């Protein structure tokens, strides 16, 4: 275990040296860019918030909420034509403050959160050195290259009112880690290879698999265990792309206390995905799977953690999976549209099970096996503004558990407030 940690440390250090070395000086340029994106969401539910409160899941209810899921400010600056800094700051769920949070997965306990329903985070901060479109090196905090949403997570990138549950309920989204990344594009192929800090297995749980393993609870991000990430995408045609990604890393060395020394809990993730944007058709599909080594030992240790750590302390699965298929069709041409607006009715089918395979002695709770049908429409009066509405129907692995219906409306946008770029095509490899 120590040997692979040394190897991964060298894998980070050598590219950082190359990044620092740079190349021969080029004239100083000033091509800053400032952009913002975000959305405002309304949701109405026909079920209560606590699935544990009824004999067969959440009882019937009628409740509604408003939310500002995220508001993001992006700033880019080119020091030279081959050296760029990017910073992205995200405000989640309305900002920060002090608030009470009722955690049903933690036996209905009230918790004092030093936040106002959300947080302000530095989502990305990194420096990129470019030699060509095929070879780019990045160091800092950036998006982990797993899944579809982590690469296309802005509200104008997808049709549903919220990010697809089949991804956000299994892996962090957006998933940001710190490390180094080599990426580029050659012909129809693009690739990403990353070495980043690993996850913290104290946050793994039954409902959301490894989502809580993202290190957000402490000031420092522990990097005793590093992780490897790889991704390849292929533009089969101008309108069709397919690809896949993989993630591998240990998760016990980054726990706050050394309570699993000598025990490995390697996490392996992979996904396969496809996107089609041909004429009026919009199609997205993904399959995601995760496997955790020694899930029984992780579950046992997590069950004895202090409640002050504010983690669920529920068993974690050996394996979890999720999938979805989304099909939309732009009907604007059918009604004689001559402008730049679009209207896409869509249907999305999805399913995910965060406890697909469990260790011996762990009960496979059927409410964690979820299937969804989502039907809605997305109206784009401008390519960077979208109004969405959809209805989703959720069912569970046991027919006796109450179904759950949700109606949502969302306003999303993206705006570039300032941009001075000598070569906009360069950003296509970012």
Q: What angle do CA 139, 169, 98 make, to 5 degrees?
A: 80
327 pLDDT exceeds 70?
yes
37 pLDDT exceeds 50?
yes
Residue 33 lies in a domain: no
State the residue range of the domain holding 244: 2-25+38-65+123-429
The tens digit of pLDDT for each residue in 380-416 reads 999 999 999 999 999 999 999 999 999 999 999 999 9
List b or e across 98-109, with b for residues whose CB sees 16 or more CB atoms inside 10 angstroms. Answer: eeeeeeebbeee
Task: Please state which of the ranges 27-31, 62-66, 132-136, 209-213 shows the lowest mean pLDDT.
Answer: 27-31
Into how many domains does the chain fold? 1
Residue 94 lies in a domain: no
Q: Residue 239 is part of a domain; what is its CATH number?
A: 2.40.160
The tens digit of pLDDT for each residue in 151-195 reads 889 999 999 999 999 999 999 988 999 999 999 999 999 999 999
pLDDT-derived band at 99 (thresholds 50, 70, 90) equals very low
Looking at residue 53, what is its pLDDT? 73
Looking at residue 103, what is its pLDDT? 58
- Read out DSSP for 221-284? PP-SSEEEEEEEEEESSSSEEEEEEEEEE--STTSSS-TTTT----EEEEEEEEEEEETTEEEE
Residue 88 lies in a domain: no
Residue 31 lies in a domain: no
Residue 96 lies in a domain: no
For the entire predicted model, the pTM comes to 0.88
Residue 251 lies in a domain: yes
The CB density around residue 162, as the number of other CB atoms within 10 Å, is 20
Residue 416 lies in a domain: yes
Residue 79 lies in a domain: no
């Amino acid at each position: 275990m120590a040997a692979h940690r040394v190897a991964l440390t060298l894998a980070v250090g050598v590219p950082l040296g190359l990044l620092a070395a740079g190349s021969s000086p080029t004239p100083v340029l000033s091509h800053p860019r400032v952009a913002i994106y975000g959305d405002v969401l309304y949701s109405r539910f026909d079920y209560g918030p606590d699935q544990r409160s009824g004999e067969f899941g959440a009882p019937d209810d009628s409740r509604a909420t408003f939310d500002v899921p995220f508001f993001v400010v992006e700033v880019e600056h080119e020091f030279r034509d081959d050296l760029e800094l990017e910073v992205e700051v995200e405000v989640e769920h309305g900002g920060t403050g002090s608030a009470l949070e009722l955690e049903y997965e933690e036996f209905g306990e009230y918790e004092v959160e030093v936040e106002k329903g959300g947080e302000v985070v530095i989502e990305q901060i990194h420096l990129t050195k470019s030699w060509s479109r095929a070879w780019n090196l990045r160091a800092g905090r950036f998006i982990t290259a797993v899944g579809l949403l982590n690469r296309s997570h802005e509200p104008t990138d997808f049709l549903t009112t919220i990010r697809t549950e089949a991804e956000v309920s299994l892996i962090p989204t957006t998933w940001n880690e710190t490390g180094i990344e080599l990426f580029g594009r050659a012909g129809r192929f693009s690739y990403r290879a990353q070495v980043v800090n690993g996850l913290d297995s104290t946050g793994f749980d039954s409902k959301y698999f490894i989502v809580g393993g993202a290190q957000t609870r402490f000031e420092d991000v522990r990097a005793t265990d590093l992780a490897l990430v790889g991704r390849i995408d292929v533009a089969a045609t101008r309108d069709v792309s397919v690809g896949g990604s993989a993630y591998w890393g240990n998760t016990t060395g980054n726990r706050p206390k050394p309570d699993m020394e000598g025990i490995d809990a390697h996490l392996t993730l992979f996904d396969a995905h496809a996107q089609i944007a041909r004429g009026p058709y919009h199609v997205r599909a993904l399959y995601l799977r995760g496997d955790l080594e020694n899930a029984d030992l992780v579950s046992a240790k997590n069950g004895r953690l202090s409640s002050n750590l504010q983690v669920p302390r529920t068993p974690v699965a050996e394996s979890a999976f999720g999938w979805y298929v989304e099909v939309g069709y732009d009907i604007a041409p059918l009604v004689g549209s001559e402008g730049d607006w679009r209207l896409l009715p869509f249907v999305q089918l999805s399913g995910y099970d965060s406890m697909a395979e469990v260790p011996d002695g762990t009960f496979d709770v059927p409410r964690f096996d979820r299937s969804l049908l989502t039907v809605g429409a997305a109206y784009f009066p401008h390519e960077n503004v979208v109004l969405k509405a959809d209805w989703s129907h959720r069912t569970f692995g046991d027919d006796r558990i109450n179904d759950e219906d949700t109606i949502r409306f969302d306003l999303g946008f993206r705006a570039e407030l300032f941009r001075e770029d000598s070569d906009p095509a360069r950003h296509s490899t970012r």
